Structure 1
Amino acid sequence: MSWPIRGLLGAAALAVLTSCGVSEDEVVQIREGQTLGDPEVGLQYCSTFGCPYADQACLEVFFEYGRSPALCLTLDVCERLQCAKEGQECAIFDGFPGQVKCIAPR
């Protein structure tokens, strides 16, 4: 493979990897004194079948260092999180896995 083609493929791969990052506006942080999961049970990763409990959903959390793996979290997760950027609010987006990130309020 020639050098120009290798360079082009490398640049394309880099563009794909960096496009999966988290924007400054989407960053959530865990509130002081809170945890994402139950301290006694800990966090569980989602399987291809979803989560073991009915009140949980498979969710990726958008932290400043990147997206978390898909975790089994209760749908009140936004009550335990805060947005890094003032004026934003936490929201859960549907999907498999769903996404927990900050958005501009309506």
Structure 2
Amino acid sequence: MVRRIAVLLSATLVLVTGCGVDKDEVVKLKEGENLSDTPYCGGAGCLDPYRYCAELFLDFGRSPPLCVVENICDRLECANTNRRCAVFEGFPGQVKCID
């Protein structure tokens, strides 16, 4: 019984913290920019070899995985002006602000 409770609590913690975004990590679009030309990632990633799959850390949470270009940070700025945009590889990768 104790083991079941521990597993349940661990799963709940992952669900609660997995979707949230730290306010210092938030990226936002620069004025005049939009993501309307950015396709969603499929299960196998992006069809375009010059794009890769990444989630954007936005103020309302993480975006769905999008096929972004390497210089996506040129279109974004950090909500906290003391930080800079960075791209972390993985599947999906992450686009967020760091020190």
TM-score by length of 2: 0.83
User: Is 1:19 the counterpart of 2:17 in the alignment?
Assistant: yes
Note the residue ranges of structure 1 that are not aligned, 5 or more in a row.
Answer: 1-6
Residue 101 of structure 1 aligns with an amino acid whose one-letter code is K
Deviations 1:30-89 (A, max 9, x none): 111001252xxxx32111221111211101000011101111111111000000012100
Structure 1 CA distance for aligned equivalents of residues 11 and 92 of structure 2: 23
Specify the alignment match of 1:65 in structure 2.
60
Q: What's the CA shift for 1:23?
A: 0.4
Alignment RMSD, CA only? 2.0
Residue 25 of structure 2 aligns with an amino acid whose one-letter code is E
Specify the alignment match of 1:51 in structure 2.
46
Q: What's the CA shift for 1:15?
A: 2.3
* Identical counterparts, % of pairs: 46
Contact 1:56–1:72 (Cα < 8 Å) also in 2: yes
Out of 92, 96, 99, the residue aligned to residue 94 of structure 2 is 99
